[in-house]
Each structure stands twice: as structure tokens, then as C-alpha cells.
Amino acid sequence: MSFTEQTYRELEAVVGRRNISRDEYILAGNRAKTPEIPFAHKSAEAIVLPGSTEEVAEIMRICKRWELNYVAYVTACLPTAYASKEDTILIHLKRMNRILEINEEDRYALVEPGVRHVQLYPEVRKRGLSYAPPAVGPGGSPMVSYTCTGGDNHVQYGTSRPTRYLLGVELVTPDGEILRTGSLQADEGWFCPESPGPSLRGVVKGYSGNAGRIGIVTKCAIALDVCKGPAEIRKEGVSPHHKMFMDGGLSRVYVFNYTSMQDVCDAILALGENEVGATVQKYFYLPLALMMTDSANEFWEKWGDFKKIFPMPLVVHIAAGSVREREYEERILFDVVRETGGTRIPREIEKWWEEHMDYFMIVCRLQSVLRLGGSWFPNKAYAESTQVMCNVAESVDGFIYDYTDTGKIFDAPKNIQIIPMEYGHFASSELLFMWDRNDPDGFAHMREFTMASAESDRRHHFNEYSMYGKEWAEKITKAFS
């Protein structure tokens, strides 16, 4: 069936006239392609803005009755937030934007999809609590970050990935049924992701978010951590030079450079064994250079020096509960760095980190990577043991120079980050690369490079970018078919 006047009227009856539109200019606001994708989106038939779970459920029933496709979204940052077929409506969840509860005793926040990081993060900090902010900017949705993406993040060393922080979830199925998972099923509140009977966690999230999931999450509870280090953040300055400071007695940032990937990973593992540091990461140098400069031109002026100064930066944030604890962690840190061959990099760079703590600030600044035109792609974005991630990073040298040296992709061959999680028990990696979007062959180069990267993974028996690995993907397909 196709989208008709009758369909529109039914949807309008659910959300009200003000919250639905099929105006050509309104639709045009949600179909432009972004620079990192080589294809154009389809235009949706209409955009609807439900205000409650019940409205979402009713919309789903209408979609089922009329066989309409639907795409639910909040920020529209990912290509999956757009129509890819005819007869698709966009369900924009912006109006469902309440923080329903911040439970300080059981340490969770209950949110609707439209709540943004810039809203939730300061609210939990005020209460001495925190959560891992993924690198999506202030307008990103915590609920989407925790239910619809892989969610590797920059503070997962001392915490973990969002999979482990997702608690009770309310989901509307394509039939319009409202499904509640975890302790909610037993009317025991939002605090627990599991309940008697089969686990429904995988229905909601699994490993990689919404790949394969159906339905729309309308509420979720996120577990919170106690703030490591000082809860209070001092802010000053005017954009683009905002600064955030944390009490230097409890919070310190150190940046070291390494010349060998194995040495960096040895340092990561040693720090993890000693549970030293709140965040530890082998950072990628291209975003760091972009974050520390004000314009693309300034970046180009300084990039040559940056590459020489820190091709393999290890960033360690110590956030302690007391000065004594901080000093203790520092002593171990310096021992580990000495033993693994790290060197302190110029104070100016450490100072920049100190002036931009905490990590919410850092990850929001990470949008600077788009400053070079916006054509970017993550590669090798998967997780394994820290040693495997080290091997993955070392394997990049085997194929990347064919692309960087020929100008097919941006010349940043060491731009892979390794972020340990749970004190180094796992780690995730990301090889972020860019291509020239002025180059008519730019997308072809991007695809070619991605294929070469995947081929290298297969040769080395690493995970492929599919997240699961070919062998596991086949097993899963067989089991569920």
C-alpha cells in the first residue's frame, strides 16, 4: 500500500495538526545527504512528532495497517535516520524529551529519547554522578547512544561500554505493543536489565545497537557512576575558547608519546592491572591536532609539527578522591611510563587537556574532525582484548601507505586510537580516516581503502568491520533462520 490522504489524516488525529507535516519545505529539511555518504536519501512522505509512548504505539499500528515504512530518529546525524524507500514516514522523537527520574540511591537516570546529552550530563553531575558521554556532541541523545549504537567511548577505561549500563527499557514493537524489559516486567522499577525468564536485552540492543532490532525505544534507564575526582567543574571563556577546569588537587592530565604500539599497549595493560587512572587512551593524533587548532588553516600550519611531536599519544586522566590518592596514582603512572619507554610531550598539550576537562567537553570538541570538509569514516571500530587491538593497530602499516602516500586518503597513517575498557580487560579501536570530497574519485578511494582494511583483517584473523566477523555472522544467520 502507499501513503495516502487517509493515512495522513489518521496520523494527524494521533499527534495533532501542529505535530505533523508533509510540506515540501519541511520535508526538504530532512533529506539532504551528508558529506560522508555517496548517495542521496529519499524524501519521506511526512514527518510526525509524537509526544508520548501511546502516540508512538498508535503511529506504529497505523504504519502496520497501511504497510508504511518508518524511521524513528532524534538528531539525524547518522545516515540511518533518513528514508531509504518510498512510502516512509519519519518519526521525530524530539518532543519526548523528559528526564523522568534521576535515582541517586539506585544510581540510574530514566530518560525519554529527546533528552540531549547537554541536558542530562549536567543534571547528573550536579548530583555527584556521571555517565559515559559518547562522542556525538551536545545535541546527541543519551537514549540513542545507549540503545542504538555500539557506544565505545572515551571514558570506558574506568567504566565500560553502554551495553553494560542499559537497564530497564520500554519499547514499542511494530505491532504497536508496548514492551517493557528487565525489572519493569515484574513491576519492580527500572533498576535492573534482567528479569525472570528469557533475557530481552538482546532484543533491544545486542552488541551493536539497532542493527537488526525492530521497534522504537521510548524510555530507558541508564546506570550512573559516582564521579571520579571532583564533581564540580569551573567553566570560563567565550566560544570557541570555552574552557573547563577541575580541581587540580584531585584531577591531572598527562600526555606521553610512544614510538611503538606494543609499548603503548603494555603501558595500558600495566596501568589497568594497577587500576591507575580514570581514563586512559592511546589517542588518535589527527583529531587531537584539529581540536587544538581554531581553523582548518591553522591546522594546516601546525599539522606537520603535530605529526612529529606525538604520533602515538597516550593520554591519562587521573581523577582521585583525595590528594594522597592522586599522588599514589601518579607515582605508579610514572613508573609504568618509564618502564615502557614513554616520554612526556610538551606541557602546552597537557595544559590544553587540563583546560578542557572533563570528557564531555573533550568529546564535544571532537566534532572538530569534521572541519576538514566533513568526509570521514571510522574503520576498525570494534573491540577485543587490548593485545589484539594492539595487533590490529600494528597491522595498519601493512596497507595504509598505499593510500596515504598517493593522496587517496588523508595523510595520517598513525591515526588509530585504542581505548581500553574496564581497566584494560577489553579495548576498542577506531581508525578514523578522511578523503578529499573535492576529488571526484574520493568516494571510490574511500571504498577501496575500506576493502583493503577488511582484507587485512581477514588475513590476520581479526574481526571484520561487520562487528561480528564473517564466521560468526554465518553461525548467527544459520541459528536464527
Partner 1 sequence: MADLNKFRYTIESCNHCGQCKWLLPGRMYGWDFASVCPIHDYYNFDAYSGQGMLNLAGEIMNGTLPHGEKLAEMLHTCTACGACDVNCKNVRDMEVLDTIYELRKDCAEAGFLPESRKKTAENVVKNHNIYGLPHEQRFSFLPEDFKDDPEADTVLFAGCSVYKHPETFLAAVKILRAGGVKFRVLKEDEWCCGASLWRMGDWEDAKELIVRNTEMFREMGIRTVITACAECFGSFRSGYPRFVETAFETKHISQVALELLRDGKLKLSKDELPVTACYHDPCMLGRLSETYIPWEGEIKSYGLHVPEKQWRRGEHGVYEPPRELLNAIPGLKLVEMPRSREESLCCGQNASDMDPDFAKHTAEERRREASASGADTIVSCCPFCREALDAQDEYKLQYLDLTELIADRLAEEVES
Which residues here bind partner 1, judged by CB under 8 A? 19, 21, 23-32, 34-36, 47, 49, 75-77, 81, 92, 94-95, 99, 115-116, 118-123, 126, 136-140, 235, 237-244, 294-297, 300, 360-361, 364-365, 367-368, 370-374, 410, 434, 436-439
Choice between 346 and 374, CB closer to partner 1: 374
Spatial distance between the Cα atoms of 202 and 181, rounded to a whole number of angstroms: 10
Spatial distance between the Cα atoms of 456 and 338, rounded to a whole number of angstroms: 33
> Is the Cβ–Cβ distance between 140 and 367 less than 8 Å?
no
R_g over Cα of the chain = 23
Choice between 26 and 323, CB closer to partner 1: 26
Choice between 294 and 335, CB closer to partner 1: 294
Choice between 25 and 39, CB closer to partner 1: 25
SS3 of residue 14 by DSSP: helix
Closest CA to 59 of 96, 128, 103, 8: 8
Render 369-394 in DSSP notation, one character per residue.
GGGG-S-EEEES--EE-HHHHHHHHH
Closest CA to 145 of 202, 233, 77, 215: 77
SS3 of residue 163 by DSSP: helix
Choice between 207 and 300, CB closer to partner 1: 300
Choice between 54 and 436, CB closer to partner 1: 436
Sequence-ordered strand ranges (E) for 389-444: 416-421, 426-434
Q: From the CB of 220, what's the least distance to partner 1, in Å?
A: 16
Render 58-77 in DSSP notation, one character per residue.
HHHHHHHHHT-EEEEESS--
Choice between 435 and 468, CB closer to partner 1: 435
422 Cβ partners below 8 Å, 6+ apart? 156, 157, 159, 160
> Is the Cβ–Cβ distance between 163 and 145 less than 8 Å?
no
Choice between 235 and 324, CB closer to partner 1: 235
Sequence-ordered strand ranges (E) for 320-371: 343-344
Choice between 102 and 393, CB closer to partner 1: 102
Choice between 122 and 174, CB closer to partner 1: 122
Q: Which long-range contacts (CB under 8 A, 24 or more apart) does 198-203 make?
A: 200/169, 201/166, 203/171, 203/179
> Is the Cβ–Cβ distance between 43 and 32 less than 8 Å?
no
308 Cβ partners below 8 Å, 6+ apart? none
Cell numbers for 299: 591546522
SS3 of residue 253 by DSSP: strand
Q: From the CB of 22, what's the least distance to partner 1, in Å?
A: 11
Choice between 18 and 478, CB closer to partner 1: 18
Choice between 92 and 380, CB closer to partner 1: 92
Q: From the CB of 295, what's the least distance to partner 1, in Å?
A: 6
Burial of 101 (0-12, 13-18, 19+ CB in 10 A): middle
Q: How far is CA 223 from CA 103, 160, 187, 306, 328, in A?
A: 9, 11, 18, 38, 29
